Amino acid sequence: MRAILYILTSLAVIGLAFWAYRENYATQQALSEADKLHRNIQAAHARLAVLRAEWAYQNRPERLRDLTVLNYDRLGLLPLRPDQFGMIDQVAYPPAPLLPITNPVDVSSMNAPQEQEDPS
């Protein structure tokens, strides 16, 4: 009976060791994938910072003004002036939509009988 207990205990230890070995490698794999994702995110942030800097550089007002002058014949663009901008109270907003009429009432007096005036 003791031999069976020793064999079962040693098989359980071997099984647990095998499970721990596999979990260790699965954990290392997950950590390496997480590190790779972090590096990709950092690279994407760096690319985004470069793109934002390029966008700011390309949209400098003096550069856009020069491009406007350079391409006036082809595009017909005019330089911006302060008097071209309006005030917020000058913006025409669309009117509010009318509510639907559900119970119409006829108020026409076109077909109503006319009263005759008394000549006296």
Q: Residue 87 has what pLDDT?
A: 84
* Mean pLDDT computed over 84-105: 84
- The values of phi and psi at residue 15, to 5°, are -60, -45
pTM exceeding the 0.75 threshold for the entire prediction = no
**Across 51-64, average pLDDT:** 94
Q: Which two tokens stand for residue 65?
A: 């003004």
71 Cβ neighbours under 8 A, 6+ residues apart? 77
**Residue 99 clears pLDDT 80, i.e. is over it:** yes
Residue 29 amino acid letter: Q
Domain boundaries, the chain: 22-74
- C-alpha 112/C-alpha 63 separation (Å) is 75
Nearest residue to 64 (alpha-carbon basis) of 43, 80, 84: 80
Nearest 5°: phi and psi at 107? -110, 10
Local confidence band at 112 (pLDDT 50, 70, 90 cut-offs): low
